[in-house]
Amino acid sequence: MRTKHSFATKGTCSQQINFELEDGKIYNVSFMGGCNGNLKAIGKLVEGKDAKDISDLLRGNLCGMRGTSCADQLSKAIDAAL
C-alpha cells in the first residue's frame, strides 16, 4: 500500500515536498514553489526508484550559498519518511 508524505522544506525556494512510498520505492514527487521545470524533472527522474538510493544520491547537493537545495531537502524528506 502506498503511503503519502508531506515535508515542509527549510532554506529553499520551494515550501513543501509531497511524495508517496510503496515497498521502499518513491512515487509522485511534487514540490510546491521553487523552479518549476527543474523540480518536475527531479520528480520524473526519481519515479519508481529505490527511496534510500535516491536519498543517498541527493543528500548534500547545494544551491548557491544556502547550505541546502530542493534535492537535498528531498533526501531529508525521504529519510524522515523511512
pLDDT of residue 26: 98
Grid cell listed for 17? 515536498
Tell me how far apart the alpha carbons of residues 47 and 19 are, in angstroms, rounded to a whole number: 10
Range of the domain at 68: 3-81
**pTM > 0.85:** yes
Grid cell listed for 68? 541546502
The CATH number of whichever domain residue 73 belongs to comes to: 3.30.390
- Encode pLDDT of 55-74 as tens digits: 999 999 999 999 999 999 99
Percent of the chain with pLDDT over 90: 100
Kindly give the parts of the chain with pLDDT less than 50: none
pLDDT of residue 65: 92
**Residue matched to cell numbers 515536498:** 17
Tell me how far apart the alpha carbons of residues 4 and 20 are, in angstroms, rounded to a whole number: 4
The structural domain count of the chain equals: 1
